């Protein structure tokens, strides 16, 4: 088991956003989490990565057998959790290459591996860059600064390739991408997929799932997973819209 979320309840400023999430992810699986805006999808991603603005009011999250919620964000990353941000921040003055080398060596240290020197890092980076078809120029620029929306998302997947996580959480990585960029991003994820890792792909639209085929699809609404199924569920949702799912909930449960 890579990830096990049990009855997770989370609030922000006293308002409950997640109202009891249950989700189990095994190695080799791809899970899609879909849902309308405001259903709590991105909150779930942020809470998994360790963002401090949220208060966990109940439930538990186990990641590779450890209590994930007890770990600071950097420890979660070192243990092998990776969040591809919906809105990657621009950090002027920090070079992309230097940032990646620092991050990679922190993670290698945690895994008991020797740090890579500048030369080894460069060739390792070049190899990973091919996966997402990213321009060498981008790694020389300050982190995400002046990157287009597509470049920022590619950069997230590139970082994921480099850091080799056990669990990749993609938070609406498809939003704002044209079809070519979407293909590149999805192709990168497909190449990274192994029998030992897993992905949770959060998306509003079905179209990403044409390229990253999920083993399971979960539909979130109002802080809960209200329906789970296989990839056909996403297609049905696409055809019938979110109203199809939510109208049953209008009557008190």
Partner 1 sequence: MQAVLAHPDIKEQFASFPDLLPSDAFKGVRKQAMNRFLSEGLPATRDEEWKYTDLSGIAELRYTSGRAAELTELNRSQITASLFDEQEYHRLVFVNGFFSGELSSPAALPGGVIVSDIASVAEKHPALLEKYFYSSPNSLHALNTALTAGGMFLSVPDGVSVSKPIQALFFNTSPDATAIFPKNIILAGNKSRVHIVQQYASTEKNISFTNAVTDVSLGKNAEMLLYKTEALSPASFLTDSCIVMQQHGSRFSSLVFTMGGQLVRNNLGITLEGEQCETAMHGLYLVPGTGHTDNHTFVDHASPSCHSNELYKGIIGGKGTAVFNGKIMVRKDAQKTSAFQSNKNILLSDEGTVNSKPQLEIFADDVKCSHGATIGQLDEEELFYLRARGIGEDAAREMLLNAFASSVVDTIQIASFREYMAGRLQEYLPFLRK
Cβ density class 160-174: b for 16+ within 10 Å, e for less: bbbbbbbbbbbbbbb
**Hey, is 43 helix, strand or coil?**
helix
Instruction: Report how far residue 201's alpha carbon sits from residue 1's, in angstroms, rounded to the nearest whole number.
Output: 17
Of residues 217, 228, 194, 209, the one with CA closest to residue 80: 194
Stretch binding partner 1 (CB under 8 A), from 1-9, 48-56, 61-69, 182-190 = 48-56
Candidate ranges 66-74, 117-125, 176-184, 240-248; the one touching partner 1 (CB under 8 A): 66-74
**Residue located via tokens 């941000």:** 85
Yes or no: say if 149 and 87 are a contact pair by the CB < 8 Å rule: no
Q: Which is nearer to partner 1, 109 or 191 (CB)?
A: 109
User: How far apart are CB 100 and partner 1 at their closest, in Å?
Assistant: 8
Using the structure block, give the residue that is written with the tokens 């989490």. Answer: 33
Sign of CA dihedral 199, 32, 178, 211: positive
**Stretch touching partner 1 by CB under 8 A, among 67-75, 112-120, 127-135, 174-182:** 67-75
**CB contact at 8 A, 107 and 165:** no
Which listed residue (54, 99, 211, 242) binds partner 1 by CB under 8 A?
Answer: 99
User: Cβ closer to partner 1: 43 or 206?
Assistant: 43
Structure-derived torsion over alpha carbons of residues 242, 245, 246, 250, reported in degrees to the nearest 10: 150
94 binds partner 1 (CB under 8 A): yes
Q: Check binding of 118 to partner 1 (CB under 8 A).
A: no
DSSP designation for 145: T
Please identify which residue in 107, 198, 225, 245 interacts with partner 1, judged by CB under 8 A: 107
Shortest spacing between CB 253 and partner 1, in angstroms:
35
Count of residues of this chain found to bind partner 1 when the rule CB under 8 A is applied: 28
Minimum distance of partner 1 from residue 176's CB (angstroms): 18
Q: Is 241 in the site for partner 1 (CB under 8 A)?
A: no
What is the maximum span of the chain, computed from C-alpha positions, in angstroms?
A: 62
Say how far residue 195 (Cα) sits from the centre of its chain. Answer: 18
* Interatomic CA distance for residues 138 and 218, integer angstroms: 35
Q: How far apart are CA 250 and CA 222, in angstroms?
A: 12
**Least distance CB 107 / partner 1 (angstroms):** 5
Near partner 1 by CB under 8 A: residue from 18, 33, 77, 220: 77
Q: Candidates 78, 128, 152, 153: give the one binding partner 1 (CB under 8 A).
A: 78
Of 4, 16, 106, 236, the one binding partner 1 by CB under 8 A: 106
Q: Which of residues 138-197 bind partner 1 (CB under 8 A)?
A: 142, 159, 163
Residues near partner 1 (CB under 8 A) are 49-52, 72-74, 76-78, 83, 85, 88-89, 91-94, 99, 102-104, 106-107, 110, 142, 159, 163
């Amino acid at each position: 088991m890579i990830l096990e979320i049990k009855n997770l309840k989370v609030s922000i400023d006293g308002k409950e956003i997640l109202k009891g999430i249950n989700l189990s992810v095994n190695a080799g699986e791809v899970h899609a989490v879909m849902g309308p805006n405001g259903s709590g999808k991105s909150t779930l991603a942020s809470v998994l990565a360790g963002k401090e603005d949220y208060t966990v009011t109940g439930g538990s999250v186990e990641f590779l057998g450890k209590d994930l919620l007890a770990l600071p964000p950097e420890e979660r990353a070192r243990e092998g959790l990776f969040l591809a941000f919906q809105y990657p921040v621009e950090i002027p003055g920090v070079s992309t290459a230097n940032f990646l080398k620092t991050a990679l060596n922190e993670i290698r240290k945690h895994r008991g591996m020797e740090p890579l020197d500048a030369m080894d890092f460069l060739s390792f980076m070049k190899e990973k860059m091919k996966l997402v078809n990213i321009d060498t120029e981008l790694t020389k620029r300050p982190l995400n600064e002046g990157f287009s929306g597509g470049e920022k998302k590619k950069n997230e997947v590139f970082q994921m390739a480099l850091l080799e996580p056990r669990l990749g959480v993609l938070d609406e990585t498809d939003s704002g991408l044209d079809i070519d960029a979407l293909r590149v991003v999805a192709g990168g994820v497909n190449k990274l997929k192994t029998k030992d890792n897993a992905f949770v792909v959060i998306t509003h639209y079905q179209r990403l799932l044409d390229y990253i085929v999920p083993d399971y699809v979960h539909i979130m609404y109002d802080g809960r997973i209200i329906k789970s199924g296989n990839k056909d569920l996403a297609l049905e949702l696409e055809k019938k819209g979110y109203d199809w799912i939510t109208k049953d909930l209008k009557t008190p449960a």
